[in-house]
Amino acid sequence: MKLIKYLALPFYLAKRGVKIMKKNLSVITMSLVAALMLSACSEGTAGAGKTEVDDVIKIVWYPNESGTDMKSSREEIGRVITEATGKDVEHQLTTDYAIAIETLVNNNADLAFMGAQGYIEAKEGNEVIKPLVVPTGASGTLDDAMYHSWLAVNVDDQENFKMDDEFSLDTIEGKKMSFVSNSSTSGFVVPASTIIGHYAEKSGFEDLSQEDLMEGGTLFSQVLFGNSHQGSAVNLLSGTAEVAAFCDTCVENYVEVVEGDTNKVGSVYKVKEDAAEPFNTVTGSEFTLMGVTPVLNAPFVANTDVLGQEDYDLLQELFTSDDIANNEKIFVPKDSGESGLFFKSDQERFSLVEDAWFDPIRELSN
Beta-carbon contacts of residue 160 (< 8 Å; ≥ 6 apart): 153, 171
Question: pLDDT at position 345, please?
Answer: 96
Task: Over range 60-87, report the average pLDDT.
Answer: 96
Helices (H), the chain: 2-8, 10-14, 25-36, 71-85, 97-105, 116-125, 190-199, 210-213, 229-237, 248-251, 304-307, 309-319, 322-325, 359-364
191-241 residue pLDDT tens = 999 999 999 989 999 999 999 999 999 999 999 999 999 999 999 999 999
d(CA 258, CA 260): 7
Q: Given this model, what pLDDT does residue 50 score?
A: 62
**Using alpha carbons only, what angle is made at residue 87 by residues 84 and 88, rounded to the nearest 5 degrees?**
120
Classify 110 as helix, strand or coil.
coil
Say if residues 229 and 250 touch (Cβ distance below 8 Å): yes
Determine which helix (DSSP H) or strand (DSSP E) holds 150, and give its type and residue range.
strand 146-154
Gyration radius (Cα) of the chain, Å = 20
* Residues 148 and 186: beta-carbon distance below 8 Å: yes
| Other beta carbons within 10 Å of 196 | 23
The per-residue pLDDT of the chain, averaged, comes to: 88
Please give the pLDDT value at position 52: 82
Residue 93 has a pLDDT of 97
> Taking the complete model, does pTM exceed 0.85, yes or no?
no
- Helix and strand totals (H; E) in the chain: 14, 17
**Nearest residue to 102 (alpha-carbon basis) of 43, 31, 42, 180:** 31
Least confident of 10-24, 144-158, 193-207, 221-235: 10-24
- What per-residue confidence (pLDDT) applies to 6? 33
Distance CA 318, CA 74 (A): 16
Burial of 180 (0-12, 13-18, 19+ CB in 10 A): buried
Q: Look at residue 366 in the predicted model and tell me its pLDDT.
A: 66
Is pLDDT at 18 greater than 80 in this prediction? Answer: no
- The DSSP H or E segment spanning 111 is strand 111-113
Residue ranges of domains in the chain, CATH in brackets: 38-143+298-364 (3.40.190.10), 146-296 (3.40.190.10)
- Model confidence pLDDT, tens digit, residues 260-281: 999 999 999 999 999 999 999 9
Are 121 and 183 a contacting pair, CB within 8 Å? yes
